[in-house]
Amino acid sequence: MLEISDTDFDEVVRNNRFVVVDFWAPWCPPCRALAPVMEELSKEYEGRVQMVKINVDQHRVKAKEYGIMSIPTLLFFREGKLVDRQVGAVPKSLLREKLEQLIGK
């Protein structure tokens, strides 16, 4: 999974049809639990959904802009527009369902 910054966030979201952004921090146990699930899904959906992560400790601008109050938080973008969000570590099956909804519409 690609690590992005506040600087390239907009470009990544704008230049990919479907994007999932994982707001995380290394000290966050639920973030660490979600990381391998996101890596697996990133491989499963390679070429269809761009999955990226952004460290909220190092890159606070976008976290503030999108009102990230708790981590992990996933933001789902379709054609540059925020269409869904998921707060907290959730099962892979739920994330797969959300991804199918994202690319299916």
Could you give all domains of the chain from N- to C-terminal order, each with its CATH number? 2-104 (3.40.30.10)
The Cα 36–Cα 1 span in angstroms is 10
Annotated catalytic residue within 19, 28, 52, 102: 28
| 31 counts as catalytic | yes
Residue-wise pLDDT tens digits, 16-48: 999 999 999 999 999 999 999 999 999 999 999
Q: How confident is the model at residue 61 (pLDDT cuts 50, 70, 90)?
A: very high
Percent of the chain residues past pLDDT 90, beyond the cut: 96
- Comparing C-alpha atoms, which of 53, 77, 49 is closest to residue 63? 53
pLDDT at 104 over 90: no
Residue corresponding to tokens 């976290």: 63
Choose, from 20, 31, 38, 71, the residue flagged as catalytic.
Answer: 31
With contact defined as beta carbons under 8 Å apart, do 105 and 79 qualify?
A: no
Comparing CA positions, the residue from 24, 14, 8, 11 lying closest to residue 89 is 24
Other beta carbons within 10 angstroms of residue 1's beta carbon come to 15
